[in-house]
Amino acid sequence: MKIKLIFCSIALLLVIQLNAQTHNVENFKARITIPLKHGSDHPGKRTDEAMNRWRSHGLGQFIHWGVYAIPGGEWNGKTYGGAAEWIQAWREFPKDEYDNLYKQFNPTDFDAGKWAKQAKEMGAGYVIFTTKHHDGFCMWPSKYSDYTIANTPYKKDIVKQVVDAYTAEGIDVHLYFSVMDWTQGGWFYKTPTDSKDKAKWEEFKRFTRNQLLELLDNYPNIKGLWFDGTWDDSWVNESEFAHDLEKELRAKSPGIIIGSRFRADESGNRQCDANGDLIGDYDQTWERDLPVSIEQLHGNDWDCCMTIPENGWGYAKKWTTYAKTPYELISMISECNSMGGNLVINFGPDGKGNIRPEETHIATEIGKWMAVNGDAVRGVEPAGNIRKQGWGYMTQKGNKLFIHVYNKPINNILRVEFGRKTYVPGGVFLLKDHRRLKVEDAGRNKKNNRLFNIYLPEGMEVVDPFVVEVELINNTGDKDAYQQAKV
């Protein structure tokens, strides 16, 4: 009896312990894990206000801007394919020439307010702005470096202008920061072994920490740090340093959002630790790529950062590859959001501070679509675990289901599979003009999921992808059930 009692108490303590760990976190499953000192800090999703806000954006803007915008992918008359922000790395001209470019950086056309307005009109909820790319040039007047905007003819703090203008438009600002730094001495690809190099590396780590704390001091309104250039062995081997630094950044800026690229665990696992748990607040692996199905995401938050040309982030005078159309990017917005991710579309302004006309056109077209259909993007969740249906994508917000139609059936009948048995469509409308549509019960499929036919208006003219809004009726009478409603 006594043994039984002890056993029960231990079991109870374990349950309490598990519950304590699950506080504020969804999707936590009890299991055996490898003890890690520098693994994930919170298996499962963060559900605090800041993260819920991030999740609700649906669409973001990325901006790659730095001195690489001056050559714009060309040097001495030669056009370099590939990412224009990497031109220095192709090493076809003396490094000094690139390193002196900042002396010409004078973006007199730069107007942060104009950029922010355009982003707002496009429907972006947040922006990620490059404070320092791999070339090490700082777009803010860092007191830890001379290679900064302060020493250009322009002089003024660009990061501040971006933070202030976007914040004033109600757009959250996340700052991109490359840990890898080709210019400031002390960066190594491999962990140095020689004592002189080791000292340089330690100095580089201090410098990195100082710059990050400086960014948080200078721009307290920012909502996140977006890291890059963290894949080399030297940094991967610094799990303890990077973990401590991450904790320091989080303590300094409560609620700050940091993705999975910043640090590795002690076994060198990046993005996910040795237990398969995501490191950081959201999965940053979906660069220029989208998951095929929601299962690939393992319940994690994620973003997809997408270029317009093939793999070009910084300004290139000539786009040498295929450039995506507004239609393709809009369909990615729907696709990402149907799987719970934010799509972040990259812009690369030129050396004078202008957003190129092709990008302005894209922003305008996306903005037109978002103005009509943004409700089906902002604040939505995936509509349960339904396989992709031929006409497009589904998102859901409470008792509203949004059907994003990219392929209008030629018979004008949208056959829609609903996963849950307890929900049926109430009112069905075209989101763009609230025209009511006829709906009929079409039975069940082999999986016992319900099917409904939605009749699109005869002769409906379709120029853009459109959204059908379905009000879901809960036929169980449970008034709270919409909270869990995943059709």
Of 82 and 299, nearer to ligand FHN (C-beta) is 82
Least distance to ligand FHN from the beta carbon of 356, Å? 18
Least distance to ligand FHN from the beta carbon of 418, Å? 37
- C-alpha dihedral (426, 432, 437, 441), degrees to nearest 10: -50
Residue nearest to ligand FHN (CB): 313
The helix (H) or strand (E) run that includes residue 131 is: strand 126-132
Which two structure tokens, joined as six digits, stand for 155? 């002089």
Q: Does 381 bind ligand FHN (CB under 6 A)?
A: no
Altogether, the residues listed in the chain come to a count of 487
Of 228 and 246, nearer to ligand FHN (C-beta) is 228
Beta bridge partners, 462, equal none
Contact between 141 and 148 (Cβ < 8 Å): yes
Binds ligand FHN (CB under 6 A): choice among 227, 313, 452, 466: 313
Query: What character string, x for contact with ligand FHN (CB under 6 A) and - otherwise, covers 12-31?
Result: --------------------
Of 294 and 305, nearer to ligand FHN (C-beta) is 305
Burial class of residue 323 (count of CB atoms within 10 Å of its CB; 0-12, 13-18, 19+): middle
Least distance to ligand FHN from the beta carbon of 475, Å? 46
| Spatial distance between the Cα atoms of 310 and 478, rounded to a whole number of angstroms | 49
* Residue 21, helix vs strand vs coil: helix
Beta bridge partners, 405, equal 392, 466
Of 269 and 396, nearer to ligand FHN (C-beta) is 269
* Residue 84, helix vs strand vs coil: helix
Which two structure tokens, joined as six digits, stand for 27? 């999707």
Q: Which residues within the stretch 117-146 sit at the binding site for ligand FHN (CB under 6 A)?
A: none
Of 270 and 356, nearer to ligand FHN (C-beta) is 270
Contact between 105 and 153 (Cβ < 8 Å): yes
Going 357 to 367 to 114 to 83, the CA torsion angle's sign is: negative
Of 87 and 376, nearer to ligand FHN (C-beta) is 87
Residue for token digits 């763009």? 432
Sheet holding 59-63, edge to edge: 257-258, 224-228, 172-178, 126-132, 59-63, 341-347, 302-306, 283-287
> Rounded to a whole number, what is the distance in angstroms from the first to the last CA of the chain?
48
Least distance to ligand FHN from the beta carbon of 311, Å? 8
Least distance to ligand FHN from the beta carbon of 286, Å? 10
Q: Which residues within the stretch 428-467 sit at the binding site for ligand FHN (CB under 6 A)?
A: none
The single-letter code of the amino acid at 258 is I
Q: Which residues within the stretch 67-96 sit at the binding site for ligand FHN (CB under 6 A)?
A: 83, 85
Q: Does 394 bind ligand FHN (CB under 6 A)?
A: no
Least distance to ligand FHN from the beta carbon of 342, Å? 14
Least distance to ligand FHN from the beta carbon of 229, Å? 7
Of 85 and 169, nearer to ligand FHN (C-beta) is 85
| Spatial distance between the Cα atoms of 433 and 263, rounded to a whole number of angstroms | 48
Q: Which of 135, 124, 89, 70 is nearest to 359 (CA)?
A: 124
Least distance to ligand FHN from the beta carbon of 487, Å? 34
Q: Which residues within the stretch 198-237 sit at the binding site for ligand FHN (CB under 6 A)?
A: 228
Say how many residues touch ligand FHN, by CB under 6 A: 6
Least distance to ligand FHN from the beta carbon of 215, Å? 17
Which two structure tokens, joined as six digits, stand for 396? 């859901």
List CB contacts of 160: < 8 A, sequence separation 6 or more: 140, 218, 219
Of 345 and 431, nearer to ligand FHN (C-beta) is 345
* Residue 460, helix vs strand vs coil: coil
Contact between 482 and 446 (Cβ < 8 Å): no
Of 82 and 419, nearer to ligand FHN (C-beta) is 82
Least distance to ligand FHN from the beta carbon of 188, Å? 18
Least distance to ligand FHN from the beta carbon of 180, Å? 9
Contact between 377 and 343 (Cβ < 8 Å): no
Of 68 and 418, nearer to ligand FHN (C-beta) is 68
Least distance to ligand FHN from the beta carbon of 157, Å? 21
Of 42 and 270, nearer to ligand FHN (C-beta) is 270
Q: Does 305 bind ligand FHN (CB under 6 A)?
A: yes
Query: What character string, x for contact with ligand FHN (CB under 6 A) and - otherwise, covers 272-291?
Result: ---------------x----
Of 270 and 400, nearer to ligand FHN (C-beta) is 270
Which two structure tokens, joined as six digits, stand for 409? 């059936």
| Spatial distance between the Cα atoms of 203 and 303, rounded to a whole number of angstroms | 33
Interface ranges with ligand FHN (CB under 6 A): 83, 85, 228, 287, 305, 313
